Amino acid sequence: MFTKSIARELFQKDRSTKITASEIRRGNTSKATQNIINVFSNSNFDLRVMELQEQDIDSLLSELKKNCIGKAPVIVLDYLQIIPVKSTDNSQKQAIDEIVRKLKNFQRETNTTFIVISSFNRANYAQQVAFESFKESGNIEYSADVVWGLQFYCTKNLRDGSISKNREVIEEAKKANPRQIQLSCLKNRQGTNYQVFFNYYPANDLFEVCEEKEFQEFIFPTKKMNNKRSIQ
């Protein structure tokens, strides 16, 4: 996370930079890199990372509670389905339901803010994001105050029943730099739903907010169209 942040800052200052997070981890110590490291080192940002091993939800929350003394933190859980569940006769969905319930109770008791990452169903990889996309995510749509889904913008062009063609479109979208990404708010307890659009530079770990109209000229090459027209 530290090296990705450095790479992102470098790219924002100089779009011609070729320095990536992996190169920084391998020891790149350019002057520009060192300047940003010094800025980060002098900041008051308090970031703590806990590596999840074999803790079940009760053990995890017990450890997290130690970090909730004083000012309530923002906790990012990456990711929901990786939390081990105790051996029971319940289904995976019921087990995740229980985890979500305990996360919500913990949030109420400690006044923390949880950002919980959830995986998608494989069946929904080539579809637009919806509540059905979330993999064994329990009753997250009822417990969460806000639900976001991140997807390729090209999913708006995907067609029902055309799995191979849809995968081809997504593979082409992955090759773009920047990639065209759309964040969809599926639920907002305190307001209305909305869309946010990003140009994503994967080598530099940068999501840059943009207008949807900037995406209109993106071309998905196909054999039939001889790479000259976009899919409508």
Measuring CA to CA, how many Å separate 119 from each of 114, 123, 183, 216, 219? 16, 12, 15, 29, 28
Strands (DSSP E) contained in the chain are: 74-78, 113-117, 146-152, 179-188, 195-201, 206-210
Average pLDDT over residues 57-69: 90
User: How many Å apart are CA 55 and CA 67, to the nearest integer?
Assistant: 17
How far apart are alpha carbons 14 and 195 in whole angstroms?
28
DSSP label at residue 73: P
Name the residue with higher pLDDT: 45 or 225: 45
Residue 123 has what pLDDT? 67
Residue ranges of alpha helices (H) inside the chain are 2-13, 21-25, 31-41, 57-65, 92-110, 140-143, 163-175
> Structure tokens of 64?
């997290």
Closest CA to 205 of 29, 8, 59, 22: 8
In angstroms, rounded to a whole number, what is the distance separating the alpha carbons of residues 83 and 5?
26
Look up residue 203 and give its two tokens. 């080598």
75 or 89: which carries more pLDDT confidence?
75
- pLDDT greater than 50 at residue 232: no
Is pLDDT of 20 > 80? yes
| Domains in the chain: boundaries | 1-47, 49-117, 144-232
pLDDT in the model for residue 227: 42
How large is the greatest C-alpha to C-alpha distance in the chain, in angstroms?
62
Compute the 3-state secondary structure of the chain and give helix, strand, coil in percent, each to the nearest 5: 40, 20, 40
Region 103-126: mean pLDDT is: 86
Give every CB contact of residue 211 below 8 A, 6+ residues apart in sequence: 197
Question: Confidence band (pLDDT; 50, 70, 90) for 125?
Answer: low
Segment among 11-25, 130-144, 216-230 with least mean pLDDT: 216-230
pLDDT at position 170 = 86
- The structure's pTM equals 0.80
Residue 144 class from Cβ within 10 Å (0-12 exposed, 13-18 middle, 19+ buried)?
Answer: buried
- Mean pLDDT of the residues in the chain: 83
Residue 139 has pLDDT above 90, yes or no: no
More confident position, 138 or 143: 143
For residue 58, the SS3 value is helix
Q: How many other CB atoms are there within 10 angstroms of residue 22's CB atom?
A: 12
Does residue 55 or residue 222 have the better pLDDT? 55
More confident residue, 75 or 141: 75
Give tens-digit pLDDT for 154-190. 888 777 667 778 888 888 899 999 999 999 999 999 9
Of residues 121 and 147, which shows the higher confidence score?
A: 147
Q: What's residue 74's pLDDT? A: 93
